[in-house]
Amino acid sequence: MQSSIYPKKLQSGDEIRVIAPAKSFKPSFTEEMKASAIKRLGLLGLKVSFGKYVNEVNEFESTTVEHRLEDLHDAFRDQNIKAILTVLGGTTSNQLLKYLDYELIKNNPKILCGLSDITSLANAIHTKTGLVTYSGPHFTLFGADKQVDYTMDYFRKCFFSEDTIDIKSSDKFCNNRWDKEEIENGGFWIINHGEARGTIIGGNLITLNLLQGSEFMPDLSNSILFLEDNDKESIRAVENHLQSLIHQPSFSAVKGIVLGRFQIGTKMTRELLTKIVKTKKELDNIPVIANLDFGHTTPMVTFPIGGECEIDTKNQKIEITKH
């Protein structure tokens, strides 16, 4: 893995570009929701523009590889664009990896932020170029009704400041971005105790695992893994995905694991997750903390892939020290 390149922080007045490297805009995301998202980003002083092909939708809820690449490369090439947000996740980002212009990206470093399927794109770009990328809200999440303030606060902390980010639990959460019901948050789950510092790698677990065996898979040495999965995955699938990651040659040098909140549909509980972790000997000597605000529930923190983190379970401290 190359040395980390940190993109410049944002300032009021900056323009950000919205692109669709996975799913395009759906008709269900109305013009009213889009206006709400633009308004919220405007409260941060940001101007929003869109890629040419964000509304093109085929039978895979996406568009052609060529059009997605054009929008992504244009966003990195355009010197007026200071950050890139994705529309949504999906299943198709890994189609782009062989065709990305990594030299263009490396020579024009800027913020790239998204989650879920964007995990493959974000980790591949970091692996190939050293550019620190970000797991955080899609553009569409700024159009949600509930629990947006926490998401915006951590978005601002990550992209407008160099200060250390101390991750605290939200008071309440919603099971997905469009839910109206707010659920009391139970705080962090400390599963294995310990202290660690390392480089953040991760995002969506199943999507990260799609990179295994390829030139795009990040080195896990000296990393703190930030991992999450959505309710399309069963408890058994989550355990399987975690075991697959443990089998990676560099996993023995992982320093710690931080797990995002599981959606209700997975039927994951603290007791079941503890049992999964405790039955894997490879995890015995590293700290494991779960139920953090990132993944497919809302609200969420924004974290840097390639940035630095420190964890201390005794004091329930999780700090992003470099982002």
Active site residues: 116, 228, 296
- Please state, in angstroms and as integers, the Cα–Cα distance from residue 50 to each residue in 9, 19, 56, 179, 237, following that order: 20, 6, 12, 26, 36
Q: How far is CA 74 from the centre of its chain?
A: 22
Q: How many CA atoms lie within 13 A of 81 on its CB side?
A: 25
Amino acid identity, residue 261? R
CB distance 30 to 38 below 8 Å: no
